[in-house]
Amino acid sequence: MSADRDDAGTAASDDADRLPAGTRVGRAALRVADLDETAAFYRDVVGLAVLDRTAERATLGVDGTPLLVLRRDADRPARSRTDAGLFHAAFRVPSRAALGEALGRVRERWRLDGASDHLVSEALYLDDPEGNGVEIYRDRPREEWPVDEGGGVRMGTEPPDVEGVVAAAGGGAEAGEAASADPVDRAPPGTDVGHVHLEVTSLSAFEAVYVDGLGFEVGTSGPDVRFVAAGGYHHHLGANTWRGRTDPAAGRGLAWFEVVVPDEGALGAVRARLDAVAGESEIGFTVDERDDGIAVTDADGIEVRVRTE
């Protein structure tokens, strides 16, 4: 594992009301109209490999690990401007060199919408062919993350060092050599879905399900945004109301995403917390059993699947 990579499993929590260290995001799934074009984007630009493909579904990932499921749903309407849903799915690469390689693919084969230095990470932003937001980022080592007065992780948004990221690609920064003019086709082993960022209609409803119910802890927050995490990570989930979404998710876009917990005990604790929230809160959500865990559909119609490793 690269020294640039720091997983949530390095911090522990003794609080029974919170998700344990080791909790992570698993796969994300999208409903799309054009499966061919969208799968090609995630293969050629993001750098995922096609692991399985049928006429109606494609599974993509890295080093044999599934990260993204695409399902053709051309009959479903496009997401409207008022619908809740995905802000972006964030693919975390294991090093700055890998981020530079991703930038090379984006510049050669697509278009970059933005880039930021978040103090804890460096990030690239773009949209897929159907308008779903995509982030590709790398974490700085955890010991370099700034902290606030309360000891929590402090994030920010600063201008990116794009040329430094470019120079890191292919080891050019260390070897003193120019990076290759040809993009590296595939994201390296260790790439995963680091976080998922949602657009919601209500932050209080988001907190009822994901903090009080699932057990994430609130980190960075503001009047119109929340970042929540387990195990001291900067954020596994984000939620914002920046664009004033007012209706539950109904169109194409995010179908579901996974939260993966370490064991059955953690999954049972999630069930108990959700039962308690359902009994005490007027926030509407549903919980359904699955063979490998549970599926929670929140008040915005967003489905999160919770399973064990």
Helices (H) and strands (E) in the chain, counts: 6, 16
Q: Are 285 and 297 contacting, i.e. CB atoms less than 8 angstroms apart?
A: yes
Q: How far apart are CA 205 and CA 299, in angstroms?
A: 7
Joined tokens for residue 248: 């539950």
Give the H or E element holding residue 149: none
Cβ atoms within 10 Å, residue 74: 11
CATH second-level architecture of 24-308?
Roll (3.10)
Tell me the pLDDT tens digit for each residue of 98-109. Answer: 999 999 999 999
Q: Tell me the pTM.
A: 0.93
Token reading at 285: 């959500």
Distance (Å, whole) CA 172 – CA 191: 21
Show Cβ contacts of residue 196 under 8 Å, excluding neighbours closer than 6 positions: 25, 28, 86, 88, 89, 90, 236, 237, 238, 257
Per residue of the chain (309 residues), give pLDDT as tens.
Answer: 344 444 544 343 446 799 999 999 999 999 999 999 999 999 999 999 999 999 999 999 999 999 999 999 999 999 999 999 999 999 999 999 999 999 999 999 999 999 999 999 999 999 999 999 999 999 999 999 999 998 999 999 999 999 999 999 965 444 344 445 689 999 999 999 999 999 999 999 999 999 999 999 999 999 999 999 999 999 999 999 999 999 999 999 999 999 999 999 999 999 999 999 999 999 999 999 999 999 999 999 999 999 999
Residue 193's SS3 state is strand
**Quick one: DSSP state of residue 158?**
B
Sheet of strand 217-222, all strands in order from the earlier edge strand to the far edge: 114-117, 121-127, 133-139, 85-93, 192-199, 237-240, 225-229, 217-222
In what order do the strands lie in the sheet containing 65-72? Answer: 49-53, 57-62, 65-72, 24-32, 253-261, 303-308, 293-297, 286-290
Query: Domain residue spans in the chain?
Result: 24-308
Q: Give the closest residue to 60 by CA, choosing from 40, 37, 80.
A: 40
Tokens 């699947």 -> residue: 305
pLDDT of the residue at 182? 81
Report how far residue 138's alpha carbon sits from residue 156's, in angstroms, rounded to the nearest whole number.
Answer: 15
**Sign of CA pseudo-dihedral 31, 37, 43, 45:** negative
Q: Which burial class, exposed, middle or buried, applies to 44 when counting CB atoms under 10 A from its CB (0-12, 13-18, 19+)?
A: middle
